Amino acid sequence: MGGDWLSIMKEARLSLRISTRRLNKLRLYAANRDKTITQIVEDWVDRLPNTESDKNSGTLSRAD
């Protein structure tokens, strides 16, 4: 069941503004871990505590 969530996950786009220095730092961090920036951001979001609205929304997280 590990990757099943990928087949049903709807994707959304995230756009944000950060300094060039931070973007380069993020790129280097991701490259050093053989991950994409998307994977780094998803991993960080997955570590955030679940809120009551998350539990009621029916959305899947990687941990589910």
Pairwise CA distance, residues 23 & 54, whole Å: 29
Give pTM, 2 decimals. Answer: 0.63
39 belongs to a structural domain: yes
pLDDT, residue 7, reads: 62
Q: 35 CB contacts (<8 Å, ≥6 apart)?
A: 43
Based on the structure, what is the number of domains in the chain? Answer: 1
Domain range for residue 23? 16-44
Asked whether residue 54 is assigned to any structural domain, the reply reads no
Task: Say if 51 falls within a structural domain.
Answer: no
Query: Is residue 37 in a domain?
Result: yes
* Residue 36, in any domain of the structure: yes
- d(C-alpha 33, C-alpha 40), whole Å: 9
In tens, the pLDDT along 15-63 reads 999 999 999 999 999 999 999 999 999 999 999 999 876 666 655 555 5
Mean pLDDT across the stretch 10-17? 91
Tally Cβ neighbours within 10 Å of residue 35.
Answer: 14
Q: Quick one: pLDDT band at residue 11, thresholds 50, 70, 90?
A: confident
Give domain status of residue 52, yes or no: no
The answer to whether residue 11 is domain-embedded is no
